[in-house]
Amino acid sequence: MTKTLKLALPQIAPVWLDRDKTLAKVASTIEEAAKESADLIVFGEGLVPGYPFWVSETGGAKFNDAKQKEIFAHYSDQAVTIEAGHLDKICALAKSHNIAIYLGIIERAADRSGHSLYCSYVYIDRGGIIQSVHRKLQPTYEERLVWSPGDGAGLVTHKIGGFTVGGLNCWENWMPLSRAALYAQGEDLHIACWPGSDRNTKDLTPILAKEGRSYAVSISSLMRASDVPDHVPYAAEIRDAIGDMPANGGSCVAAPDGSWALELVIGEENLRYADLDPEFVRRERQNFDPAGHYSRPDVTRLIVNRKRQALAEFED
């Protein structure tokens, strides 16, 4: 029998569009969770340096607009480039505290020109090693004005304690084939990261748990108009446009039978914990296992391209 896994669920706001200050807040939160002997801590979608709330409210679709270009340039400047060492301190904390981390970032990908941005979910193991970077396959609606479509390279799972864990970004969690790609690798702890809203998490989280006979974790950020710093371009206009609280949280955990292990909390920053029992998964897989005895690969199978996509392949 495998012992329970202690999950830390921080619902926090970024220091919006400020990479270094947000990473400092992330680091402080990891330190706090480590004091409680957490095994895994998970953060919301695009937390570092923040979700692009301005796009839908300030004319983001206006072509070749000087204002949108200026805001995007600032966003790009504050994005995370892993190769530049922006996550080194977070990795060091994972190693020193023996804690695994899922962290939502806006990635300025060095292998894709170094300027286009990707909504990426990064898994850092308890040894402080980045084991996967999942770039969101399909940005949603207005997100496509600032984020680029990713690829399947990050559709992987990881072992932690008695669990096999995987993660998807926001509305990817509605994509049956993306979920199936993780189920096929034995996923029994699913992390769904969100920019922050109970309208996304309250219905889908127990559905994911029941479908996968897994623990389903929805981790959301928080965002208030007061979180827009003055140094962000057009800060006052953005604060007026986005409303008091464009992201109200809604983080929660559903058990493998769809019951709540941690119910939704909205409108506040917090750090909560849940003890997850792998035996619960085994009990629920008795009558339904989506990638095991209840699958029919002789009839329906999924082909997944996990090659990292690039513009060119060079042969020197």
Amino acid identity at 260: W
DSSP E strands in the chain: the ranges are: 5-11, 40-42, 100-108, 117-124, 130-135, 158-160, 163-169, 189-194, 215-220, 222-223, 247-254, 260-266, 270-276
Domain contains 199: yes
170 is catalytic: yes
Q: Quick one: how far is CA 3 from the chain centroid?
A: 25
pLDDT in tens, 30-89: 999 999 999 999 999 999 999 999 999 999 999 999 999 999 999 999 999 999 999 999
Domain contains 305: no
Q: Is the dihedral of CA 106, 309, 87, 231 positive or negative?
A: negative
**Domains contained in the chain, number:** 1
Domain contains 297: no
Domain contains 178: yes
**Domain residue limits at 78:** 5-284
Count of Cβ atoms closer than 10 Å to residue 213 Cβ = 24
Domain contains 153: yes
136 is catalytic: yes
Domain contains 115: yes
Q: From the candidates 6, 25, 136, 210, which is the catalytic residue?
A: 136
Q: From the candidates 119, 170, 193, 252, which is the catalytic residue?
A: 170
* Tens digit of pLDDT at every position of the chain (316 positions): 569 999 999 999 999 999 999 999 999 999 999 999 999 999 999 999 999 999 999 999 999 999 999 999 999 999 999 999 999 999 999 999 999 999 999 999 999 999 999 999 999 999 999 999 999 999 999 999 999 999 999 999 999 999 999 999 999 999 999 999 999 999 999 999 999 899 999 999 999 999 999 999 999 999 999 999 999 999 999 999 999 999 999 999 999 999 999 999 999 999 999 999 999 999 999 999 999 999 999 999 999 999 999 999 899 9
The CATH number of residue 209's host domain is 3.60.110.10
Domain contains 316: no
Q: From the candidates 45, 172, 187, 284, which is the catalytic residue?
A: 45
Q: Quick check: pTM over 0.85? A: yes
Q: Is 196 helix (H, G, I), strand (E, B) or coil?
A: coil
252 is catalytic: no
How many helices (DSSP H) and strands (DSSP E) are in the chain? 7, 13
